[in-house]
Structure 1
Amino acid sequence: MTTIIITRTDQYSIIISDTRENNEEESTYLDGVFKLRYIPNMGFITGAGWAVFLEEVKERIIKKRRIEHIDEVLEIFKSTADEGKRDVLGTEERIDNSYIAITWLGEDNNKIEYQSGLLSESYYEKNGDNSMLVDKGGIRIIYPVDLVEKDGLIHEIVEQTNGKITTDLSINKALFETLKLFVQIAKNSDLVSLDCQIGIQYHSKLTNEIHTEGLYGKGEQLLKLAQQNKILRKFKAAGTLSEFV
């Protein structure tokens, strides 16, 4: 399992993923597993749930090299899920309870749209489709299972999240708000690491270009940088970072 935090506005998108991989058969884990990946010429992808399935989805999407339309991602996800359920007995529930999170750049009326979406077989019962677009200004979180079981705490975090709107926040302030939630989750879950990867897409007035950048580090340290308005300068082009290749 893992935790994922996503938000998007008219000015940027942010995706945060922790780096802990849990052993399903034993109560062991490995940190420093880079689960947030860069999709060339598109954006970022990560997942929460059954690692074997999620990595297969990510590899197939990244190896395609050039995604012309988001529907191609949906098709890859669906075909990988169908193959997994058909070819490996006992995997249906694990696949259904897994989530892919993705960010990309779209266009509407000749205007760039910062898009973020979630894919899961479990969504069929909710909306008849396997995908869900993240609302602008909202903060969407995929929570670790052990935190969901802590009724009081999860309700507190959900209420905090519902009360935060990023629409009018700068990207630095939005990073602060989302990192604050990440640290709170990580400190209260045995399934989430204290370090994380962050992927952002935004338009820079300095370069007059859209930047797709990444950053990896300890959540608390990154939170302090955001609080000091210094975090944005730490990001580097995603294609140049080994943890986003």
Structure 2
Amino acid sequence: MTAIVGFVRQTLSIIITDNRINYGKHQEFGYDDTRSKLFNLPDMGWACGAGLSVFIDSFKESLVSEPIEDTHKIVEIYKKAINSAKSFNPELAEFIDDSVVMASWFGASTEKITFRIGFSSKSHYGDHLALLNDNEILVIYPPEYLESKEKVRDLVDRFPLKMDSNDGINIILERMLKIFNEISNNSKFVSTTCEVGMHEFTYEGVIKSKIAGESRELITELENGRITERIEIVDVIR
């Protein structure tokens, strides 16, 4: 299981995910913290997931290989990935249904550019793609939090999930990293390292960028004004 933290507004989207692959449902066969789970989607944004990695990887690879005209195509790819995973692993059907996938993209019209983050889980949304509300942080929790409402309540009391529309990107990113860091320190299923996929509309164009590292170190660099040294520009659309 993975921890994912997402945020979106009209001019910005951010997705944070960890690097841990757990072997066995309860980590009985160990884990590996060297896996990159953030997937670059050409002409779109970023994708990641929490749950069965074979299913999630299949979904992400299909997003890259097939042309995406609209959100209906994303749903179609998701349904195909679900059915394919179940046909090969019928004994894992429940685990596949509980898996969560997330993707970011932007749409442009003559009037404006709008960023979106969509997410889905067969168990919770069926074949539908839910959209994250503007200026809200979405957290996909690992088992320790799913099994404890008190843990979740304590987390959101200290780190509210609703951001102000005037909050800048550094304020938003710091809140998200602190949420991730708190979760990673309290879950054996989540690495303390993370990857951050960002998509932002600026005067220079639509910039897709990435940051990776220890979550605590990234928070410190944000607080000290050095985070720009970590940012890797992946693409710019002018």
TM-score of the superposition, structure 1-length normalised? 0.88
Distance change (3 Å), C-alpha of 1:14 and 1:166: farther
Which residue does the alignment assign to 1:3? Answer: 3
The CA RMSD over aligned residues, in Å, is: 2.0
Which residue does the alignment assign to 1:140? Answer: 138
Count of aligned residue pairs for this structure pair: 234
Which residue does the alignment assign to 1:40? Answer: 42
AA aligned to 1:102 is A
Which residue does the alignment assign to 2:234? Answer: 238
CA shift at 1:153, angstroms? 2.0
AA aligned to 1:28 is G
- The percent identity for this pair of structures is 29
Whether the aligned pair in 1 keeps the contact of 2:13 and 2:116 (CA below 8 Å) is yes
In the TM superposition, 1:79-158 aligns within 5 A as 79-107=80-108, 110-124=111-125, 129-158=127-156
Distance change (3 Å), C-alpha of 1:77 and 1:2: same
Q: Deviations over 1:91-124 (max 9, x none)?
A: 2101110000111012366210111111211223
AA aligned to 1:2 is T
Which residue does the alignment assign to 2:55? Answer: 53
Secondary structure of 1:155 counterpart = helix
Whether the aligned pair in 1 keeps the contact of 2:207 and 2:235 (CA below 8 Å) is no
TM-score of the superposition, structure 2-length normalised? 0.91
AA aligned to 2:192 is L
Which residue does the alignment assign to 1:71? Answer: 72
Which residue does the alignment assign to 2:209? Answer: 213
- Looking at structure 2, the residues matched to 92 and 106 of structure 1 have their Cα atoms a distance apart, in angstroms, of 34
- Looking at structure 2, the residues matched to 16 and 166 of structure 1 have their Cα atoms a distance apart, in angstroms, of 20
Whether the aligned pair in 2 keeps the contact of 1:172 and 1:229 (CA below 8 Å) is no
- Looking at structure 1, the residues matched to 79 and 10 of structure 2 have their Cα atoms a distance apart, in angstroms, of 29
Whether the aligned pair in 2 keeps the contact of 1:195 and 1:216 (CA below 8 Å) is yes
Instruction: Identify unmatched segments of 5+ residues in structure 1.
Output: 241-245
